[in-house]
Amino acid sequence: MNILFLGDIVGRSGRDAVCAALPGLRVRLALDLAVVNAENASHGFGLAPEMATSLFKAGADVITLGNHAWDRREIIPMIAETPRLVRPLNFPPGTPGTGSVVVEVPGNRRALVANAMGRLFMDPLDCPFRTTAVELAKHRLGGDVQAVLLDFHAEATSEKMAYAHSFDGQVSLVVGTHTHCPSADHQILPGGTAFQSDAGMCGDYDSVIGMAKEGAAARFWRRMPGERLVPAGGAATICGVFVVTDDTTGLATRIEALRMGGRLSQTVPEI
């Protein structure tokens, strides 16, 4: 199975770049599954319903979220009613929506996509390790699902690595989101799970993690709240990871970074 995961979409620049590029990437990489994190798509804070609809129309099979899931209140009914719009699974019971979804992919195959949120330097949610283990116990990689993708939305690299090693051999891909900086540690772990600490963002990198640099930098100089941060509006770099899995085992056989457009060094996998 050919899988593409794109990191946090930030603002209009990131949205427009992903919506323009994703249809071509589906063809170029012969994608079976495309997943995007869009929790910062609306002005850097949350996701609006029409934006989610545009991303689905552009070719996203699943949209994942994170700590800004509820920033646009009008998205809450859509989260509750749309299984392919996935919020972190370790929110307390009774929270609208779902933390995972099984989607049909070409070739009469199925893929499980789940989203969890870390706790180090983040909100004090339920344990992401235990809630993920409970979810994975409902499925069998290489059995009822041919691939399993985990988006771990977390601040600390140590927590992301510990999470990935905890589920090595049980899932196809663990990919980190939230820090908006693509890490250079993409690898296949000893048990066969592909891993990258952070996929990076889809947004303007002439910025402070996607936000206009002047206002963001001023907060560090003054240590006082300033004007509301706004996304940088320059050309976006689309960042993510491309993974190929074995249909029999569900484990990864290949992982490569993707960086396209904007300011960062360019790398697009070839098939």
| Residue positions annotated with a catalytic role | 68
Tokens 């540690």 identify what position? 185
Q: What is the CA radius of gyration of the chain?
A: 17
Beta strand segments in the chain, E: 2-6, 33-37, 62-64, 85-86, 100-105, 109-117, 147-153, 173-177, 187-188, 194-196, 238-245, 252-260
Strands 187-188 and 100-105: unpaired
For 266, residues 6+ apart whose C-beta sits below 8 A from its C-beta are 259, 260
Q: Do 160 and 152 touch, CB atoms closer than 8 A?
A: yes
Q: Which residue in the block uniquely carries the two structure tokens 């209140």?
A: 73
Measured distance CA(137)–CA(102) in Å, rounded? 14
